[in-house]
Structure 1
Amino acid sequence: MARVKIDMPESYRFITQLPVRITDINYGGHLGNDAIVSILQEARVRYLASFGATELKALGTALIMADLAVVYKGEGFYGDQLTVEVTAEAFSSVGFELYYRISTFRSGQLTILAEAKTGMVCFDYTARKVARLPEELKAQLSKTNA
């Protein structure tokens, strides 16, 4: 079976902390895959907010997710404090890739729980079509915030 592979970056421009909530736990007693996707969205929203943007008002454009890939590396449990690192790379004329690493420090050891990538495309919601990546947004995404 072919596995999804993501070439992860060496460094990240933004870091945020999120707790694992009881509602994030699935029937297996660990962090559910649906919760991971929600955690990615929360981290993305916080990253954009760190330079005054939102998904609908991103410095001259709006954003829409074109694809998502997640590679699960370990289990998360209720009470874990997650560190989510985010960075933007692979810019094109209409979008970019966001890379995420979710980890926790438990029992004196760093555990990576998941690595992910989302393809983000600039989008005009009024015209319902792809838009150009504004230089101002690209410049902000390229800055080091961490």
Structure 2
Amino acid sequence: MARIKIDLPAVFPFSTQIPVRIQDINYGGHVGNDAILSIIHECRLQFLASAGYTELDKTTGIGLIMADVAVAYKGEGFHGDIFHVAVAAGEFSPFGFELFYYITTQRDAQTITIAEAKTGMVCFDYQQRKVAKLSAAMKTRLETGK
């Protein structure tokens, strides 16, 4: 069976800390795949906010829709872990971009890779209900994280 391979960027301009909550744990006793998606969503919102954007940008009328997601699970996360999530934007197109996520935790003085992921983001005009162009200003801010 073919495995997903995510080519992570060399530089991540943004990172955040996310504590693993008890509701993130599944019946296997570790962080569930649904929880990883929720954590990625939270980190995406924080990354966008750090660049001055939201998923539903009221100022420009142009928001974002997640078109796809790929997650490569690398290790187990447990209740009490603090996930360090690095986020970067890349693979820009006229209508969107990819967001990359690198999730690690520190345990027993070691860095454990939990997951690598990417989400395909498409610019969307919510008033007209159609795909919109990615502005040059947004591209620049997302590339640099500023």
TM-score by length of 2: 0.95
Change (3 A) 1:82 1:89: same
Deviations 1:87-116 (A, max 9, x none): 000111000000000100100000010000
Match of 1:99 in 2: 100
After superposition, the CA RMSD in angstroms is 1.2
Match of 1:56 in 2: 56
Match of 2:87 in 1: 86
Match of 2:9 in 1: 9
**Distance in 1, Cα, partners of 2:10 & 2:135:** 25
**Fraction of identical pairs, as percent:** 59
Change (3 A) 1:144 1:127: closer
- 1:51 positional shift: 2.2
SS of match in other structure, 2:44 = helix
| AA partner of residue 7 (structure 2) | D
Structure 1 segments (4+ residues) deviating >4 Å: none
The size of the alignment, in residue pairs, is 145
- 1:144 positional shift: 4.2
SS of match in other structure, 2:39 = helix
What does residue range 13-52 of structure 1 map to in structure 2 within 5 Å? 13-52=13-52
TM-score by length of 1: 0.95
Tell whether the 8 Å contact from 1:59 to 1:136 is kept in structure 2 after alignment: no
Change (3 A) 1:40 1:11: same
Change (3 A) 1:59 1:100: farther
The answer for unaligned runs of 5 or more in structure 1 is: none
SS of match in other structure, 1:90 = strand
39-48 or 59-68: which moved more? 59-68
Match of 1:131 in 2: 132
SS of match in other structure, 1:139 = helix
